[in-house]
């Protein structure tokens, strides 16, 4: 049960990061630094989502 709660937490955090990064691309200035920053937030969001699904667990 604890593992399911952690999975939902990761997926919720991933959704928040992806939405925040997407909104940041339109709200932040269009300089390369801010666009790379908002893109990095989106990429981190997807990485957290994959971690929540167990994609990075080592095979046993």
Q: Provide the pLDDT for residue 25.
A: 92
Bin 28: left if φ > 0, else alpha if -120 < ψ < 50, else beta. Answer: beta
CB 50 within 8 A of CB 56: yes
CA atoms within 13 A on the CB side of 22: 8
pTM of the model: 0.83
pLDDT per residue of the chain (60 residues) written in tens, 0 to 9: 677 888 889 999 999 999 999 999 999 899 999 999 999 999 999 999 998 887 766 666
């Amino acid at each position: 049960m604890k593992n399911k709660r952690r999975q939902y937490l990761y997926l919720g955090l991933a959704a928040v990061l992806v939405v925040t990064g997407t909104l940041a691309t339109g709200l932040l200035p269009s300089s390369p630094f801010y666009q790379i920053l908002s893109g990095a937030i989106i990429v981190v969001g997807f990485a957290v989502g994959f971690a929540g699904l167990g994609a990075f667990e080592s095979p046993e």
